Amino acid sequence: MPRQDFDFRHPFDIARHPTLEPEVKRAILASWASDRAAVKNKPGFRRPPGIKKPVPIDDIIAALKTLDANVLIRSDRP
């Protein structure tokens, strides 16, 4: 799992972080989406290490989609 030196509480904290590279953001979000972070008996939620409140998997997927959209926009620029 990628090392986290930041205080992330929500997936969009990662997706919108101004200094992290897209690959790092994607790696962190992928680790959050992992089944290893699944909340027992609540498959729609993840609790990554160091996160107190469970996060809906849908929010993690939405943050990943935001990264994909931003990459597409940047690649279209001259």
Q: Tokens standing for 40?
A: 């027992």
| CA angle, residues 59, 56, 16, in degrees to nearest 5 | 30
Q: Tokens standing for 13?
A: 């904290």
pLDDT at 12: 94
pLDDT at 7: 79
| Domain positions in the chain | 11-76
Tens place of pLDDT for every residue, the chain, 78 residues? 445 456 798 999 999 999 999 999 999 999 999 999 999 999 999 999 888 899 999 999 999 999 988 765 555 555
CA distance 15 to 8: 10
Element (H, E) at 55: strand 55-56
0.85 exceeded by pTM: no
Element (H, E) at 64: helix 57-76
